Amino acid sequence: MSRELWFSRLAVAVVAATLLVTAVVAPQTVMAGEPAQFSGVVFEDTNRNLTRDAGEPGVAGVRVSNGKEVVQTDAEGKYTLPRYDEMIVFVTKPADYAVPVNEYNVPQFFYVHRPKGSPDAIKEYAGIAPTGELPASVDFPLFKAEATNNFKAIVMGDTQVTDHIEIGYLRDGAIAELLNTDAAFALAMGDNVNDVLSLYDRYLAVMSQTGVPTYYVPGNHDGNFDAPEEKYFFETFSRYFGPSYYSFDYGQVHFVVLDTVFYEGNKNYHGEIDERQMEWLKNDLSFVPQDSLIVLSMHIPLLSWIDRDKVAKHGVANRDAVYQLVQGRNVIALAGHTHTVENLLPGEEAEGWGAPIQIHQILVGAVCGSWWTGDRDERGLPLSYQRDGAPPGYMIFEFNGNKFATQYKAIGKPLAQQMNISFTSRRGQYLPTGVLSDLPANIITTAELDSTDIVANIWNGSAESKVECQIDDRAPVAATKNNFIADPYALRLQLELEDWLHTTSSTHIWTCPLPTDLETGVHHVTVTTTDRYGHTYQGVKMFEVWATH
């Protein structure tokens, strides 16, 4: 092959990977009186050159959307949809196919139609360049893949890097652990960067090292603050990742990425799913089999414990409409935003919510922890314990058919390590001042035995977790769940942080009173927990009892 021909083919492949459109570029024409529509083909790209060649078949039954309506391709892989002046056209990846990825392992399942590009007001960070007229056929290549009902996914909350130093923390922490992961894909849950959108190129170069396709959720720190109106908030995001909401299938699981950030202007936002997106969601779910598991993935959660007094901003305003859409379905919701790990089960409630939560929601914690703060560990990475006392980390989801199980993986710690264990004095009424002054160095006097509790912060715990405490070789005692207590272990590592970052409550803390008849000397407590998925973990903590003088 000549050098000139090689470069010519490379240029075609790069354009196709970016736009996911075949080489047919003649603009569409619309006859007077006809409804504005466009069409295309979804095809099996057998030679993986991103262009439809002779003999490559269309793929039937693939969902295609213009961001509002959703249709399925016919027997020849063809589809037709209403046309809008500005839109992003995208396919829902079928379970038995893969979509191309770019050099950053970002899935390329979309075509951006923005004839004039982003509004002139978008200046601080580059938005979408003018795309010109819509091609005569908006086509999408798929690669045949082996379908499996058993697979693993990595879910990463809030990487939220502000500068190149923090990208280095991301690289040397979570991504170093995930090199050559055996997961099918990764999902990044928004606030991928922290307002500095010019970091996306290096950020994505680091994230790509997992070696697997990574799907991205938009967060409130991923937007353009100079957007003239709400619908243009994610112009730079769309330049890199495509639509701010979309769906894809693996096995018997339908994954839905939602945009729950409603931009109010002047750097203000609240949680809400806009009307157009709600219409798309209704249409999208209408094609999903009744026995499939639906995984809703969003940045701002439907509700959270940690921000239960700030639901108007940090919850989804129209969550009841979401509940109604998925009523009777097998569904879970994943979210980031809060920098906490929370397993909230249907029927749980909190003051400020207005009503109990109706679907299982998991807040997946943050890779950056408490915004990359705190002392450094032996690797030079911030300890950055989160507001619920959990260390920085990510979730590992294992799917088996339409069922799932999760584990929280603390960065830099073995997977078997799932808890902090410490002690607190009830004389301090669980307040941070009492925690720190009463029990230095895990030493309890005989006079304090009747007012001291073992505190187990089990990071991925839920209301269905079983927790027991065993002192030395005594019989195990059931622990009591307590959402209104600080984690003394984490709090000691947060003393230099701003007060609002301190752990003062959590959805996954259990306590056991110390026996009052413990002899002076060295003892140990073994905490055993079994979660709702059947995983069992243990932690051990040594302490001393000193005689009162």
pLDDT of res. 426: 78
> What is the secondary structure of 135-146 as a DSSP string?
BS---EEEEE--
337 and 246 co-located in one domain? yes
Residues near 511 by beta carbon (within 8 Å), at least 6 away in sequence: 424, 453, 454, 455, 456, 479, 480, 482, 485
**Backbone torsions φ then ψ of 153, nearest 5 degrees:** -135, 145
Q: In what order do the strands lie in the sheet with 214-216?
A: 214-216, 185-188, 150-156, 393-400, 403-410
Closest to 243 measured CA to CA, from 65, 123, 122: 65
Same domain, 201 and 315: yes
User: 12 and 156: one domain?
Assistant: no
Contact 79, 61 (CB under 8 A): no
Give pLDDT, residue 51: 95
| 504 in a structural domain | yes
Residues 137 and 173 in one domain: no
Q: In what order do the strands lie in the sheet with 443-445?
A: 443-445, 536-546, 521-530, 466-471, 477-478
How crowded is residue 170: how many other Cβ atoms within 10 Å of its Cβ? Answer: 23
Does 400 lie in the same domain as 433?
Answer: no
Same domain, 294 and 393: yes
CATH number at 521 reads 2.60.40.10
Q: Token pair for residue 9?
A: 């083919």
Which of 386, 410, 434 is the endpoint of a domain?
Answer: 410
E strand spans, 244-324 = 246-250, 253-257, 261-265, 268-271, 293-298
329: left (phi over 0), alpha (psi -120 to 50) or beta: beta
Full residue range of the structural domain in which residue 115 is found:
3-84+100-141
Q: Which of 410, 439, 454 is the last residue of a domain?
A: 410
Are 472 and 531 within one domain? yes
- Do residue 441 and residue 297 come from a single domain? no
Same domain, 355 and 247: yes
Domain edge (last residue) among 391, 410, 429: 410
Residues 360, 350 contacting (CB under 8 angstroms):
no
What's residue 34's pLDDT?
A: 54
Residue 133: partners with Cβ closer than 8 Å, 6 or more residues away: 27, 28, 115
In the structure encoding, which two tokens stand for residue 461, read together?
């715990």
Q: Mean pLDDT of residues grouped by 10 in the chain (549 residues)?
A: 35 38 41 74 97 97 98 98 98 98 98 98 98 96 95 98 98 97 98 98 98 98 98 98 98 98 97 98 98 98 96 97 98 98 97 96 98 95 97 98 98 97 76 46 89 96 98 98 92 86 93 96 98 97 92
Same domain for 507 and 374: no
Sign of the CA dihedral running 336, 332, 179, 418: positive
pLDDT of residue 195: 98
d(CA 143, CA 161): 33
Residue 146 CA to residue 166 CA, distance in Å, equals 37
Could you tell me which of 327, 361, 332 has the C-alpha nearest to residue 344? 361
Q: Is 122 contained in some domain?
A: yes
Q: Report yes or no: 421 and 414 within 8 Å, Cβ to Cβ.
A: no
Tell whether 521 and 463 lie within a shared domain. yes
**Local structure of 497: helix, strand or coil:** coil
Residues 192 and 329 in one domain: yes
Q: How far is 473 from 490, CA to CA, in rounded Å?
A: 27
Token pair for residue 92?
């829902």
290 in a domain, yes or no? yes
Per-residue pLDDT at 425: 82
Q: How many CB atoms lie within 10 A of CB 176?
A: 15
Domain count, the chain: 3
Q: Domain for residue 89, yes or no?
A: no
CATH number at residue 326: 3.60.21.10
The enclosing H or E element of 48 equals none
DSSP-assigned letters across all residues of 449-486 = GGGEEEEEEETT--TT-EEEEEETTSPPEE-EE-TT--
